[in-house]
C-alpha cells in the first residue's frame, strides 16, 4: 500500500512540471506542526513536533469531470516514542452542476502503524466570496476491527481572491470491536498569496476531543505553498484542486494514539 500512496503523492507533486497540460491546477507545500495530546482518562500526555509535505492537483477529464489527486508524507518526533513517518493519498472524482461541485473519493493512510482505508463524498457550493463544503466519510482499520463514520463542514471566506480564511467542524462515531465512542474536532486556518508570486503562506489550528478517553488533541500549523496552473487561490479551489483540504475523518485520532 505504501507504493500506491507514494505514487499518488508523486503524481500530484510532479503535476507541477511545465510539461503537464496547462489546464492542470494545483499546489504543493510543506507544513510545520506542533501537537499537544492529553488523555486524562488514561493518564497520558505527549507533545510532538513534525512536518508534512503535501500536494494536490486537479486534472480535467473531458468537459464534465475532474480528477483530483492529493498525497501527504508526514514526519513526527517526540520524547516518548521513536520518530515516525506516515503516508496518505486520495483520488477524488467530481463534476459541476452550475456553481455546485459534487465529488466522491477513496483513499488510504497509515494509522497507528496499521492501514486505514477511507471513502466518502463531498459537496461544494461556490458563491461570490464564500465556498461552503459538506463532507461524509467512512473509514476502517481491519487489523484493529475499527469502523468510523464522520460528517462535517467547512466555510471558506475570500477577503480577496488571494487571501482565504476558513473554519470547519466534524463529528465522528467510532466502533472499536463493538465498543462505540464519539469524537469531534474543529479547525480554523488561512492562506495568503504573496503578490506577483506563486508563493503563499499558511497557518492553522485544530482542536479534537475523544469523549470516552477524555482525550484532547491540539495541533498548531504554519507552512508555505507553491501554486501552479495560473489563477488565484479562489480559482484554484473552484477548479477542485483543494478538495483534500476539506476531507473529514477520524484519522487524526488514530495517528495521535
Q: Is the pLDDT of residue 239 over 60?
A: yes
CA distance 59 to 12: 10
pLDDT by residue (tens digit) across 47-71?
A: 899 999 999 999 999 888 999 999 9
Which residues sit opposite 61 in a β-bridge?
65
CA distance 193 to 199: 6
pLDDT by residue (tens digit) across 177-218?
A: 778 889 999 999 999 999 999 999 999 999 999 877 788 999
165 Cβ partners below 8 Å, 6+ apart? 156, 157, 159, 188, 189, 190
Please count the structural domains in the chain. 1
Q: Are 28 and 12 in contact (CB under 8 A)?
A: yes
Give the CATH number for residue 211. 2.40.160.40
74 Cβ partners below 8 Å, 6+ apart? 50, 51, 52, 53, 85, 86, 87, 88
Look up residue 147 and give its three cell numbers. Answer: 469502523
The dihedrals phi and psi of 144, each to the nearest 5 degrees, come to: -105, 0
Print the domain residue range for 93: 2-256
- The total of other beta-carbon atoms located within 10 Å of residue 75's CB is 14
pLDDT by residue (tens digit) across 102-147?
A: 999 999 987 667 789 999 999 999 999 999 999 999 999 888 788 9
Residue 214 confidence (pLDDT): 81
Give the CA-trace dihedral at 201, 191, 154, 53, to 10 degrees: -20
Q: Give the global pTM.
A: 0.86
Residues 38-50: b if buried by 16+ CB within 10 A, e if exposed: bbeeeeeebebeb
Amino acid at each position: 500500500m505504501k507504493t500506491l500512496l507514494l505514487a499518488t503523492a508523486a503524481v500530484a507533486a510532479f503535476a507541477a512540471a511545465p510539461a503537464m497540460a496547462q489546464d492542470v491546477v494545483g499546489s504543493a507545500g510543506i507544513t510545520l506542526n506542533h501537537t499537544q495530546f492529553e488523555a486524562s482518562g488514561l493518564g497520558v500526555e505527549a507533545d510532538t513536533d513534525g512536518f508534512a509535505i503535501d500536494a494536490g492537483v486537479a486534472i480535467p477529464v473531458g468537459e464534465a469531470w475532474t480528477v483530483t489527486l492529493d498525497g501527504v508524507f508526514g514526519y513526527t518526533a517526540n520524547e516518548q516514542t521513536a520518530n515516525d513517518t506516515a503516508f496518505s493519498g486520495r483520488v477524488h472524482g467530481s463534476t459541476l452542476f452550475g456553481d455546485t461541485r459534487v465529488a466522491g473519493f477513496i483513499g488510504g493512510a497509515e494509522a497507528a502503524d496499521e492501514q486505514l482505508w477511507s471513502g466518502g463524498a463531498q459537496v461544494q457550493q461556490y458563491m461570490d466570496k464564500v465556498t461552503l463544503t459538506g463532507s461524509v466519510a467512512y473509514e476502517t482499520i481491519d487489523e484493529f476491527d475499527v469502523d468510523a463514520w464522520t460528517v462535517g463542514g467547512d466555510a471558506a471566506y475570500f477577503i480577496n481572491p488571494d487571501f482565504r480564511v476558513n473554519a470547519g467542524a466534524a463529528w465522528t462515531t467510532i466502533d472499536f470491536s463493538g465498543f462505540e465512542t464519539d469524537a469531534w474536532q474543529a479547525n480554523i486556518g488561512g492562506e495568503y498569496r504573496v503578490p506577483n508570486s506563486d508563493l503563499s503562506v499558511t497557518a492553522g489550528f485544530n482542536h479534537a476531543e475523544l469523549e470516552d478517553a477524555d482525550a484532547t488533541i491540539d495541533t498548531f500549523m504554519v507552512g508555505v505553498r507553491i501554486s501552479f496552473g495560473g489563477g488565484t487561490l479562489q480559482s484554484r479551489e473552484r477548479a477542485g484542486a483543494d478538495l483534500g483540504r476539506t476531507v473529514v475523518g477520524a484519522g487524526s485520532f488514530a495517528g495521535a494514539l
